[in-house]
Amino acid sequence: MSDTLSPDASPATTAATPPDGSGGASGRRSGTASRAGTAAAGVLLLLALPFYVSSFWLQTGLFAMAAIVGAIGLNLLSGTTGQLSLGHAFFLAVGAYGYVWLAGDPSGTGSAQLYGLGLPPLLAFVLAILLAGAAGGLFSPISGRLRGMYLGIATLALVFLGHHIMLNARDITGGFNGRSVPALEIFGFSFSDTSPDGLAVLGVPFGGLERLWYFGLVLVAVAWLAARNLLRGRPGRALAAVRDSEVAAAVMGVPLSRYRASAFIVSSMYAGAAGALLALVFKRVVPDHFGLLLSIDYLAMIVIGGLGSVGGAAAGAVFVALMPHLLTKYADHLPLLSAPGTTGSGVTPGDAARYLYGAAIVLVLVFAPGGLAGLAQKRPRRTGDGTRRNRRFPFRTRTTSDSNPQGVEGTTPKEHTP
């Protein structure tokens, strides 16, 4: 038998990448440079916002920053490790009230007396995070042995227990009326409207919200980088192994209970940082801020953003945190909504926001199980040789030959003649 090439084969269509791989390398360099440029532009935009936006947008942005920190922590527990938690609001409350108690001064007398340690605010902020981690450590023996729905029910009890403590430990929490929050202060510089009083940068008055904005950016950056480094290292691989198959993880020598408990402690510390930042933004903490609905909001954040993704958790947190504030601001201009404090028959902005969360969760589970992060990964990117490479399957490329039924690289298959 003899093999002959079809006369339709065209050498001009056999375009291949250079043998030295320079095309792919240049494509990777250009892609990295493009992502770095986009990230730099985003950072510059965030740094410049206090000079141009009103206090409403700054406060809303700070709520979003606190949500990002808390969502990253919950994503490490539920998304990466596969542990369901409904008690995230409890650890936010520990961080918030812990900061108030550690930084606040004793005040009042008799039944209205409030205790406080009067520590430096920055030290109190760090200790509040550690206090939330210690609370997670006390619960870690349970979290290390339970999983799935059983752990979710156990953590749900923390929310009700915490609400009872916040209402009855009046000497520390202030009871139903809550307690005012001491301003953050670092080396004499106060993140409030005073000390220094009348601060202006480039002619723009810098009050408490403007100063807290940059502190929030630093906190988000630290939380983001810490989570990325943890997931890319050995602990992150171990946590993912626990989520995917506990039997396989145990065979590989991963101590299941210890890693599940460690993930719960780290998640609690992230929640403590988010709670302390929320307290600084609210300037007063009350028990109603930390109910079961807050835990459900955080679960919505990580589901919408994408389980197991740091960037997805941040995107979902921004969506869920901004929605009620935007609906409240523009309630007068939107149909079917009634502004807060009015007697209209429309839906309140808070309820409307939760309806949107529910619809978004259903759409994500049906059409995009990977969340917003999964949609970004499915978008193919171009390499240096003009092909399109899928982010999720980096070795699967789409070239012009994919649409050519005659063969690869423009050639036709060999004809076998007798």
pLDDT at 20: 53
The DSSP code sequence of 204-251 is EE--HHHHHHHHHHHHHHHHHHHHHHHHHSHHHHHHHHHHH-HHHHHH
- pLDDT tens track for 71-93: 999 999 998 888 889 999 999 99
Average pLDDT of the chain to the nearest whole number: 82
16 torsion bin: left (phi>0), alpha (psi -120 to 50), beta (else): beta
DSSP three-state, residue 307: coil
The mean-pLDDT minimum among 246-250, 341-345, 347-351, 368-372 falls in 341-345
Report strand pairing: 200-201 vs 204-205: antiparallel
**Does position 97 have pLDDT exceeding 90, yes or no?**
yes
Mean pLDDT, residues 297-314 taken together = 92
Instruction: Report the percent of the chain where pLDDT is more than 70.
Output: 82
For residue 230, with 0-12 CB atoms within 10 Å meaning exposed, 13-18 middle and 19 or more buried, which class applies?
middle
The whole-angstrom distance between residue 284's C-alpha and the CA centroid of its chain comes to: 24
Selection from 106-110, 130-134, 190-194, 253-257 with the highest mean pLDDT: 130-134
pTM of the model: 0.82
The better pLDDT of the pair 374, 381 is held by: 374
**Does position 178 have pLDDT exceeding 60, yes or no?**
yes
